[in-house]
Amino acid sequence: MRKLLISLIIVASVVGLTSVFVVDEGEKGIVIRFGRILKFNNDTAHIYDPGLKFKVPLFDSVKLLDARIQTMDDQSDRFVTSEKKDVIIDSYVKWRIKNFGQYYLSTGGGNRMTAEALLQRKVSDGLRAEIGSKTIKEIISEKREQVMNDVLNEVQSGASDIGIEVIDLRIKKLNLPDKISDSIYARMRAERETVARRHRAQGREKAEIIRAQAELEVATILAEAGKTARVTRGEADAEVARIYAGTYSKKPEFYNFLRSLQAYENSFNNKSDIMVIDPNSEFFRYMKEPHSSIN
């Protein structure tokens, strides 16, 4: 009797242990019974959230699936643009399981490698269709964001067939074969040089305009200065003439004496000059008569 009781306890323990399973945080569990997914109300798969769960021993097996967001780093692949030129694109995809039952059935029992292989094929097909309708210039700059959004929408629609939700798709790197890169760089360099020549021509034109304006202003200032100088000089000459005239009217003899001194100074200023003059001429009047009265 005692042996039977011990056997029953052992069997009960084994049954109890095999009927309990734990779903870790970040995972979801589905139960497979007789090779089929245990469903809730015969509609959708019965999903077990994290925690301690129970199942029917011997008949049920548990499949734990990662419910977190996954990253698929796609391998670089070659695509052809609408210009029939090759581009090499390296992309990545963020995805997670949305329909666990469908995912389990579509991927051969929840195999992640199978899921990513199917997903990679959909991404490649989407990129191939979008890249094939765009030029290199559109892909690189103008419509790159649009290309990614269009591919993302298409992949999201196709990925639902395997129970996957695609959250994001991005192009990490876009390379061009060396031959194409050289031709694109040459064309870009030619475009930049054209723009540079246009800017230089505009700069030279503006410089000529500024230079002409400056020369006009200088000429105007010089003309005004010359005019002012001539007016001032004329006024000074007139004042000098007025003073001389006043002096002559008041002291004619003194005026003659002063003018003679100025003539002496101008005549004898240069020692290398030779002058032949009659000593009895009027020019030497004040030299011969230094004490003549000057009224």
The pTM of the full predicted model, rounded to 2 decimals, is: 0.54
Res. 118: pLDDT tops 80: yes
- Per-residue pLDDT at 94: 92
Q: What is the DSSP string of 201-228?
A: HHHHHHHHHHHHHHHHHHHHHHHHHHHH
Among candidate residues 127, 133, 112, the one with its CA nearest the CA of residue 79: 127
For the chain, what percent of residues have pLDDT higher than 90? 2
**pLDDT tens per residue across span 229-238:** 888 888 888 8
Q: Domain residues of the chain, as ranges?
A: 2-66, 70-176, 251-288
State pLDDT tens for residues 82-107.
Answer: 888 888 888 889 999 888 888 888 88
One-letter identity of residue 30: I
> What pLDDT shows up at residue 53?
73
Of 87, 73, 91, whose CA–CA distance to 175 is shortest? Answer: 87
Query: What's the distance, CA 211 to chain centroid?
Result: 35
Residue 11 has pLDDT above 60, yes or no: no
Q: Two tokens at 141?
A: 């700059």
Average pLDDT, integer, range 140-167:
84
Q: Are 22 and 53 in contact (CB under 8 A)?
A: yes
**pLDDT above 60: residue 281:** no
Phi, psi angle pair for 212, to nearest 5°: -65, -40
Each residue's pLDDT tens digit, 53-79: 777 776 777 888 888 999 988 777 888
Report pLDDT for 47. Answer: 81
Query: Torsions phi, psi of 210, nearest 5?
Result: -65, -40
Domain 70-176 grouped into CATH 3.30.479.30: yes
> Residue 274's pLDDT band (boundaries 50, 70, 90)?
low
The Cα angle at residue 130 between residues 129 and 133, in degrees rounded to 5 = 90
The residue count for the chain: 295
